[in-house]
Structure 1
Amino acid sequence: MIVDEREILIYYNPDSNSDLKTVAFAQSITPFVKSYTYQQAPISNLRWEQIFQAIGMPPKEMLNKSDPYYQENIRGHEFDDDGWMKILRHNPQLIKAPIAIRGDKVILCESPKDIYKLTEVEEVEKEV
């Protein structure tokens, strides 16, 4: 699941101002940004699983628990990690923050400035 080092791939919720800021910050890092809303993301189930594993966070922690759909349909239910991943794959609008990929690094951008974590390795290498 490697993306070119010059490119940033972002999956985001277009209804979130914070997500839109994250996309804008990414565009300030590189002109090579591919951004997809979660609904239009061309992602297979296997790719979603790879993304979730690469983030290194339990799928349940990636949920936006304030979302009305979550409140009405999911709150109070318990699932294993596979069950939570299935919920997120079928309801990607429930992912609480944009997912950004650059090279082999995948992050959940809980703050728009988290996108800059994708440049940390690059900056350290320049200093050496």
Structure 2
Amino acid sequence: MGVIAMDKKLITLYYSSKNSLGKQLNAYVESSDKKHLTIDISKTNVTGTQWAELADGLGKSLSDLVNTEHPDFKTAYGEDDFNLDNDGWLKVLNKNPSLLKNAIIIKGKEFIELKSASDFKQYMEPDSTGIEKPYKKN
């Protein structure tokens, strides 16, 4: 059993307010009329178990969650051959939240990596309130 709560009526966003993608996605989620929970990893400590569950839910390794192309990462860890184990990648994510490669949403049991703010729109259920249904002949 995982430690992250999963509810099909709840959208959970893991993001960093230290990068523009995170800021944009947070604005989309906050403005939606869907029940949501936003977790800004630059303000909230995400445990190693939670990071592992997020990576597993996405079918990725912890290293795949880190933007190794970011200049701050390259300055701290070099250009390549990082030689980090899982604990090392967890430290990178916890100490440098801006290095989270993409935001992650959880909707029900589905884990989704968002690479752009517009990606979020496709996961919103259409709101059909006020739309007239077409006339149907008998």
Cα distance per residue 1:31-57 (max 9 Å; x no partner): 322112112235322121111111112
Given candidates 87, 94, 113, the residue that maps to 1:90 is 94
Q: Partner of 2:40 in structure 1?
A: 37
**1: distance between equivalents of 2:107 and 2:37?**
11
RMSD between superposed Cα atoms in Å: 2.6
Percent identity reads: 17
Q: Partner of 1:52 in structure 2?
A: 55
**Structure 2, unpaired ranges of 5+:** 127-138
**Structure 1, unpaired ranges of 5+:** 124-128
Q: Label 1:60 to 1:48 Cα distance change in 2 as closer, same or farther (>3 A).
A: closer
**2: distance between equivalents of 1:15 and 1:40?**
10
**1: distance between equivalents of 2:70 and 2:104?**
18
Partners of 1:14 and 1:37 within 8 A in 2: yes
Q: TM-score, normalised by structure 2?
A: 0.68
Q: Partner of 1:72 in structure 2?
A: 75
Q: Within the alignment, does 1:21 sit opposite 2:21 as a pair? A: no
Q: Label 1:20 to 1:112 Cα distance change in 2 as closer, same or farther (>3 A).
A: same
**2: distance between equivalents of 1:70 and 1:78?**
13
Larger-Rg structure:
2
Structure 2 residue matching 1:10: 3-state secondary structure: strand
